[in-house]
């Protein structure tokens, strides 16, 4: 499933698309919330790898306003819980992810994002 | 795209028949069953040497991707097979709460192992059929208590695929081995198990290695990001599991084995190694007639002949494999890394005394990504390699 943790790691990889290729923008989203118990150790370990602005923007685009603009330096339990909710409990089952750089659309179907490109779209 | 070699190896037809026979005789003791002469076993399909064409992408489409889609349901019966021990060891050796990528991870075979080890695994594969299985797994990064599929509808339907005991949030992404759709620096580890051997040119295999390393964290200090790659070996043991599992799955690549034996035993001139082969997968028809509770099915099991609907002939599909020879996997990883500007640091356990320790003591002029091979080996007809990557800031003195 595309949880936002996964979305925060995905970027457009169309040939020569290097500007604004992250984060991909959700549209026509079918969102499911699956409640789960938080694992703060996991969150703390993942934090340095997060792109915070991308996460905040994406969460807000999906209607979640709980994250602060700036990544906290000291986390309260409440903030950790909010992060857990956004990263781990918001599942995008259907929809599209569009690259702001080149416009390529990566569809999500049955919770699986399709990052495949045709051979001519890939390059090095 | 993970290839599982020990496919569900059903007992030999003979023993199956014996069991069914006794069960049946308990129920209907009267009639001695006529013993039907067994048809001579059909010769197993053998691997076919393969010559790559000028369009490897298309070749892999037909000789790998389409085959995996076709065999996905059958293949996924192997999901609960034991993980290969070295991969399990690798996963358990990672720092808890690491997140990694399984490139070509197919049906998510290593997701449960990763969960046991306390690490998260994102499965990427080209086959939707295989991913369909992987996504039914529970998601990672959650607490141990609840968290079992309390799906709450927000918009649209709550997914219908939720399976008992799983919250159906296994992270899956559709992409192939050269998919670069990941930000850099997001994964603590990466594995690619029995997948890269499906790429049909050296260039594409190098790309796959480069793409595997690319999204790893490149840290200036431990813990460093680590990777592990498994591929099929050209060098096959004669009594391998692969051979034993060949009743319904791909047999041992006889072409290669024969070649190796000939060259070893007879002192004849070594024949050219056939490393590129099409390995047959015998797609068995559905096994419905095996249910012991119906008389008809017993009959079917005994007679070798389906009684109900005539079962379709097993279909033989061929998957392309590049069989790696000794040293090749290491060379592949090292050359791929060098091509991408990595320094190769000295390895601790090289294979066959080979040591590679260039530039480890040279001063660096800028921040440099480095790779270190931690181990290379042959296990159960596969070659594996394990390594780590990091970055050495110019501010640090050389090791
Ligand atoms: Zn793009």
Please write the tens of the pLDDT for every residue from B71-111.
887 776 665 568 889 999 999 999 999 999 999 999 899 99
| Interchain proximity B151–A3, CB inside 8 Å | no
| Interchain proximity A45–B97, CB inside 8 Å | yes
Q: Is the pLDDT of residue A41 over 80?
A: yes
For residues A21-28, average pLDDT: 98
- Give me the total of CB pairs closer than 8 Å, taking one residue from chain A and one from chain B: 146
Eight-class DSSP state of A49: G
Tell me, in angstroms, the distance from the centre of ligand 1 to residue A110's CA.
23
Query: Considering the entire predicted model, what is its pTM?
Result: 0.78
Average pLDDT, chain A: 94
Domain coverage including residue A114: 2-121
Please tell me whether residue B119 adopts helix, strand or coil conformation.
coil
Q: Among partner residues A10, A32, A38, which is closest to B143 by beta-carbon distance? A: A38
Pairing relation of β-strands B172-174 and B120-125?
Answer: parallel
Q: B222 burial class (0-12, 13-18, 19+ CB within 10 angstroms)?
A: exposed
Tell me, in angstroms, the distance from the centre of ligand 1 to residue B34's CA.
69
Which B-chain residues 102-141 have CB contacts (< 8 A) with chain A? 120, 122, 124, 126, 128, 131-132, 135, 139-141
Which residues of chain B neighbour A5 with C-beta distances below 8 Å? Answer: 141, 171
What is the rounded CA–CA span in Å between residue B261 and residue B254?
A: 10
pLDDT at position B138: 78
pLDDT at position B38: 57
What is the rounded CA–CA span in Å between residue A98 and residue A105?
A: 4
Residue predicted with more confidence, B242 or A7: A7
What is the rounded CA–CA span in Å between residue B324 and residue B182?
A: 28
Is residue B172 within 8 A of residue B134, CB to CB? The reply is yes
Q: List the single residue in A with minimal CA-CA distance to B210.
A: A124
Which residues of chain A neighbour B135 with C-beta distances below 8 Å? Answer: 1, 110-112
Domains in chain A, number: 1
pLDDT at position B252: 41
Which residues of chain B neighbour A42 with C-beta distances below 8 Å? Answer: 97, 120, 140-142
Which residues of chain B neighbour A49 with C-beta distances below 8 Å? Answer: 99, 185-186, 217
Q: Is the pLDDT of residue A120 over 70?
A: yes
Q: What number of CA atoms fall less than 13 Å from residue B192's CA on the CB side? A: 28
Residues in a beta bridge with B173: B124
Over residues B355-365, the pLDDT tens digits come to: 444 444 555 56
| Interchain proximity A1–B169, CB inside 8 Å | yes
Question: Which position has the token pair 């996924």?
Answer: B76
Which residues of chain A neighbour B120 with C-beta distances below 8 Å? Answer: 42
Length of chain B: 399
Question: Which position has the token pair 């921040």?
Answer: B367
What is the rounded CA–CA span in Å between residue B277 and residue B295?
A: 43
Pairing relation of β-strands B225-232 and B382-392?
Answer: antiparallel
| Interchain proximity B135–A110, CB inside 8 Å | yes
For residues A96-103, average pLDDT: 98
Which B-chain residues 174-213 have CB contacts (< 8 A) with chain A? 174-176, 178-183, 185-187, 207
Residue predicted with more confidence, B316 or A49: A49
State the nearest Cα–Cα gap between A115 and chain B, in angstroms: 5
Share of chain A above pLDDT 90, in %: 90
Tell me, in angstroms, the distance from the centre of ligand 1 to residue A9's CA.
14
Please tell me whether residue B159 adopts helix, strand or coil conformation.
coil
Query: Mean pLDDT, 10 residues at a time, over chain B (399 residues)?
Result: 41 35 43 56 74 83 84 69 90 97 94 93 94 83 58 36 47 94 97 96 96 97 97 81 34 44 48 82 65 41 51 80 95 98 75 45 73 95 96 70
Instruction: Give phi and psi for B244, each to the nearest 5.
Output: -70, -30
pLDDT at position B356: 45
- CB count in 10 Å sphere of residue A116: 17
Pairing relation of β-strands B120-125 and B225-232?
Answer: unpaired
pLDDT at position B37: 57
- Residue A106 sits in a domain of what CATH number? 2.20.25.10
Angle between helices B202-213 and B328-339 (to 10 degrees): 70
Q: List the single residue in B with minimal CA-CA distance to A84.
A: B142
Query: What DSSP line would sit under B214-280, residue for residue?
Result: TTB---SSSSPEEEEEEEEBSS--TT-HHHHGGGTSPPP-HHHHHHHHHHHHS-PPPPPP--EEEEE
Is residue B64 within 8 A of residue B56, CB to CB? The reply is no
pLDDT at position B42: 61
> What stretch of H or E contains B172?
strand B172-174
| Interchain proximity A31–B155, CB inside 8 Å | yes
| Interchain proximity A1–B150, CB inside 8 Å | no
Average pLDDT, chain B: 73
Is residue B83 within 8 A of residue B114, CB to CB? The reply is no
Question: Under 8 Å CB-to-CB from B289, ≥6 apart: which residues?
Answer: B296, B297, B300, B301, B306, B307, B308, B311
């Amino acid at each position: 499933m595309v949880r936002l943790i996964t979305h925060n790691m995905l970027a457009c990889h169309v040939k020569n698309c290097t500007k604004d290729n992250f984060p991909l923008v959700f549209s026509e989203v079918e969102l499911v919330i699956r409640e789960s118990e938080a694992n703060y150790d996991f969150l703390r370990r993942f934090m340095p790898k997060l792109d915070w602005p991308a996460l905040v923007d994406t969460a807000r685009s999906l209607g979640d306003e709980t994250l602060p603009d700036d990544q906290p330096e000291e986390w309260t339990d409440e903030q950790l819980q909010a992060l857990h909710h956004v990263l781990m409990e918001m599942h995008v089952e259907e929809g599209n992810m569009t690259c702001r750089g080149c416009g390529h659309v990566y569809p999500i179907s049955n919770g699986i994002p399709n990052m495949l490109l045709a051979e001519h779209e890939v390059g090095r | 795209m993970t290839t599982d070699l020990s496919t569900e190896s059903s007992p030999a037809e003979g023993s199956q028949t014996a069991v069914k026979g006794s069960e049946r005789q308990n129920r209907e003791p009267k009639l001695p069953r006529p013993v039907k002469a067994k048809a001579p076993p059909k010769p197993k399909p053998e691997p076919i040497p393969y010559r790559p064409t000028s369009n490897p992408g298309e070749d892999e489409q037909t000789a790998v991707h389409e085959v995996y889609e076709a065999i996905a349901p059958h293949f996924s019966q192997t999901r609960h097979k034991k993980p290969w021990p070295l991969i399990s060891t690798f996963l358990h050796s990672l720092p808890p709460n690491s997140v990694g990528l399984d490139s070509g991870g197919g049906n998510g075979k290593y997701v449960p192992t990763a969960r046991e080890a306390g690490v998260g695994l994102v499965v990427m594969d080209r086959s939707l059929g295989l991913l369909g299985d992987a996504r039914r797994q529970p998601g990672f990064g959650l607490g141990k208590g609840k968290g079992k599929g309390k799906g709450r509808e927000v918009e649209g339907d709550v997914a219908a695929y939720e399976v008992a005991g799983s919250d159906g949030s296994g992270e899956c992404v559709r992409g192939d081995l050269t998919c670069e759709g990941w930000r850099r620096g997001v994964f603590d580890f990466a594995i690619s198990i029995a997948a890269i051997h499906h790429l049909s040119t050296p260039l594409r295999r190098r790309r796959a290695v480069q793409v595997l390393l690319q999204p790893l964290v490149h840290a200036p200090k431990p813990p460093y990001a680590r990777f592990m790659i498994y591929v099929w070996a050209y060098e096959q043991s004669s009594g391998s599991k692969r051979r034993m599992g060949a009743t319904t799955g791909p047999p041992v690549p006889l072409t290669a084995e024969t070649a190796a034996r000939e060259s070893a035993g007879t002192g004849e001139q070594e024949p050219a190694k056939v490393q590129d082969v099409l390995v047959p997968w015998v797609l068995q028809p559905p096994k419905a007639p095996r249910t012991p509770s119906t008389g008809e099915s017993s009959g079917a099991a005994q007679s070798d002949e389906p009684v109900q609907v005539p079962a379709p002939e097993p279909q033989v599909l061929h998957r392309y494999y590049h069989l790696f020879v000794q040293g090749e996997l290491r060379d592949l990883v090292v050359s791929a890394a060098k091509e991408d500007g990595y320094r190769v640091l000295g390895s601790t356990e090289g294979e066959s005394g080979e040591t590679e320790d260039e530039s480890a003591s040279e001063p660096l002029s800028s921040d440099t990504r480095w790779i270190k091979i931690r181990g290379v080996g042959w296990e159960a007809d596969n070659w594996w390699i394990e390594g780590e990557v990091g970055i050495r800031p110019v501010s640090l003195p050389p090791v």
